[in-house]
Structure 1
Amino acid sequence: MSAPSDDISFDKATKLGFHRLFQYIQGANLNSSRIRMTTPVLTSVVPDAGPLHSSAYVVRLYLPVKFQSSPPVPLPELKLHLAEWAPWCITVRKFSGFAFETTTCVKEAQKLALSLSRSPWADATGFNGTNAYSIAQYNSPFRFIGRINEVWVDLDGSKVKGCESSLVDVF
């Protein structure tokens, strides 16, 4: 399930998008179904989609397998959208701490971009995907130590050996 936001702040978009998704899993859907929380919570940066060509964001939450074939319809006021993902290839950089836009996310995305520019996949990172990068957060905000986050960058699977769509599995 996804919560799009044209807010110009990663931190605010993540907070507000997650709040809408949390309401949905707590029963703010047409079935009044409670849905088990899954991880990660994924915030994707969509370049030039926000006001004045700034970035916009999409906050996503995976639905448990039980609800994937027939997810409860969210209440309209939540402005959530069902997002079905086809298999795709990503490259990942793991980092710890809290995922704040200016202090961690941008720096970690830059580190991943630098690492990729020196790798055999450098020409696969210019993929025409919709996201510049995504931040995956795996822990509750109440966990202060041992936090796990990742920055994800989409790769063009046709340019990465072993990553062709026919060879990728979704779990």
Structure 2
Amino acid sequence: MGCQIISIPLLILFFTVLIITEKAESKALESPQYTIVHSESDFEVRFYRETVWMTAPVNEISFEKATKIGFHRLFQYIEGANLNSSRVSMTTPVLTSIVPGAGPLHSSAYFVKLYLPVKFQASPPLPLPELNLQPDSWTSHCIAVRKFSGFARDNNIVKEAEKLAVSLSRSRWANSTSTQSGYAYSIAQYNSPFKFVGRVNEVWVDVGGSEGDDCKSSLVAAY
């Protein structure tokens, strides 16, 4: 019976990512700062200040494939595939924003994103052109968030997004979903693919409100 041969470069990449992500799991990673302004049993609303992310656009039907493809390009970027040859620290979460029906046959377009550390927020290293990455500057805004465990898969992300939509429809945030971002929803993943227990994921949906109005009217906690 024949054995399947795995290429040496692929093995090297696999173990490099494994080592880096295991080290990353052992220490706190930098994340975008937010303030919780509304909290219920199954969702919360956060206020995020201005931030800059590096974004990989991906045309793909599968959320899982798109996330892997986009993250692979982003991983090359943070490992030094930029015009400064700068190493950029890994951050969390890996965010995949979804635009349903954007492609042929009603397939989806995806934007896989990594938050840039504070050190690079003002002047992100320019990615190598072949990576097809671009910085994404966020203005201050509110995001409704639903947590879920396990792995984020093609067969569960839509269900989780629908649960968040139902929760919002029953709250004072009904009819406040923002369309300014152009994304239907995003999936935030906080763990490496090599962690199997205690995984944390979130569905993100932009909602109306800014620091001066509803978004900060019922402050619960700050992070």
Fold similarity call, TM over 0.5: yes
Confirm or deny: 8 A CA contact 2:93 2:189 kept in the other structure.
yes
Structure 2 match to 1:113: 165
- Is 2:198 aligned against 1:146? yes
Letter of the 2:162 counterpart: Q
| CA RMSD between the two structures | 1.8
Q: CA deviation at 1:53?
A: 3.6
Q: CA deviation at 1:127?
A: 3.5
Q: CA deviation at 1:136?
A: 0.3
SS of the aligned residue for 1:91 comes to: strand
Confirm or deny: 8 A CA contact 1:6 1:51 kept in the other structure.
no
Structure 1 match to 2:56: 3
- Is 2:74 aligned against 1:21? yes
Worse-superposed segment, 56-65 or 113-122? 113-122
Structure 2 match to 1:167: none
Letter of the 1:20 counterpart: R
SS of the aligned residue for 2:113 comes to: strand
Q: CA deviation at 1:146?
A: 0.4
Structure 2 match to 1:101: 154
Counterparts of 1:113 and 1:76, CA distance in 2: 37
Q: TM-score, normalised by structure 2?
A: 0.69
SS of the aligned residue for 2:215 comes to: coil
Worse-superposed segment, 124-133 or 54-63? 124-133
- Is 2:222 aligned against 1:162? no
Q: After the TM superposition, list the runs of 4 or more consecutive aligned residues in structure 1 that deviate by more than 6 angstroms.
A: none
Structure 2 match to 1:133: 185
Q: CA deviation at 1:71?
A: 1.0
Q: CA deviation at 1:48?
A: 2.8
Letter of the 2:152 counterpart: A
- Paired positions, count: 163
Where in structure 2 are there 5+ consecutive unaligned residues?
A: 1-53, 217-222
- Is 2:142 aligned against 1:89? yes
SS of the aligned residue for 2:158 comes to: helix
Letter of the 2:60 counterpart: D
For the pair shown, the structure with the greater C-alpha radius of gyration is: 2
Q: CA deviation at 1:93?
A: 0.2
Q: TM-score, normalised by structure 1?
A: 0.89
Q: Structure 1 residues 34 and 128, CA, compared in 2 at 3 Å: closer, same or farther?
A: closer
